[in-house]
Amino acid sequence: MSFPSLLPVAALPFPEIDPVLVQIGPLAIHWYGLAYVAGIVFAWWYARRLVSNPRLWPDGTLPMKPQDIDDFVMWAAVGVVLGGRIGYVLFYDFARYIANPADIFAVWQGGMSFHGGILGTTIAMYLFARSRGIRPWSLFDVVAAGVPVGLGLGRLANFINSELWGRTSDVSWAVLFPNGGPLPRHPSQLYEGLLEGIVLFLVLRLLTHSWLKLKAPRFVSGAFICGYGLSRIFVEFFREPDAHIGYLAGSWLTMGMLLSLPMVLLGIWAMATAKALPRSAQA
């Protein structure tokens, strides 16, 4: 959808923020990489607090030790990076990487899939939980509760990088992206950051601390993946699809929607079937 009569001067100017935060010689620290690190650190810190609060768990029995969370951080980082990269290669640009296999390892050029990242982290969580004798769903719940902050920071970094911008629009807050053509566009990265980051985190905080849903394993996980899926599907109506993929049907269905729909269904199932543990249940 475009608006040929729209004048670029009606749009908000794109803020001049260098995607590189600090550069020392050949070493560059990008906002996008910093967002990943900050998201992982926050999720680690928040998970430690959750597993240290007996009020949140059945009969006050903690499901794991804070040290378990410390040990899991490396597993999570590997799962996010490998899963995110492999997911992008498979779901979004398979033909290119088959033709140029060496590009698969050029992660500094960008190209990460959230759906692949969450799958990689889920596998890492399951393997780690089984190796420590922890209920897998309780670990899923603890990790999921802190993930939205990292998602929000990541979308903010996408905005700074002038990537994944939205469709052309005549709304008063539309932005002229430097590489988005002559017409103003929805700042869809900010929409997604608001929904996936702030709103979803607050919803999960309500579930964990007010409704005490950590006592019913997989409810919080289900709320997270369902909430993310719904947020992503909504924002896809404003986000420009990847040029090499385009729309999958008509002028509305995108790959992001297609990958998010199973998440919504899985999340609904998880919440509907979650049951509170007996008071005597042990980790």
- For 28-45, how does the pLDDT look when each residue is reduced to its tens digit (9 = 90+)? 788 888 998 899 899 999
Least confident of 60-74, 76-90, 151-165: 76-90
Handedness of CA 107, 73, 198, 248 (dihedral sign): positive
pLDDT of residue 109: 60
Within a domain: residue 255? Answer: yes
Q: Which token pair is 166? A: 């939205």
Q: Percent of the chain beyond pLDDT 90? A: 60
Domains: count for the chain: 1
Query: Would the pLDDT of 7 be above 70?
Result: no
Express each pLDDT in 170-211 by its tens digit: 999 999 999 999 999 999 999 999 999 999 999 999 999 999
Whether 130 has a binding-site annotation, put simply, is: no
Nearest alpha carbon to residue 93 among 252, 229, 246, 231: 246
171 touches 150 (CB < 8 A): no
Q: Which token pair is 160? A: 């700074």
Within 10 A of 152 (CB to CB), how many other CB atoms are there? 23
Within a domain: residue 245? Answer: yes
Within a domain: residue 94? Answer: no
pLDDT of residue 176: 95
Within a domain: residue 109? Answer: no
Query: What is the reported pTM?
Result: 0.84
pLDDT of residue 108: 56
Residue 283, amino acid: A
pLDDT of residue 225: 96
Within a domain: residue 2? Answer: no
Within a domain: residue 193? Answer: yes
Domain that holds residue 143: 16-63+135-273
Within a domain: residue 100? Answer: no
Please count the CA atoms within 13 angstroms of the CA of 19 that sit on its side-chain side: 15
Query: Would the pLDDT of 253 be above 80?
Result: yes
Within a domain: residue 280? Answer: no
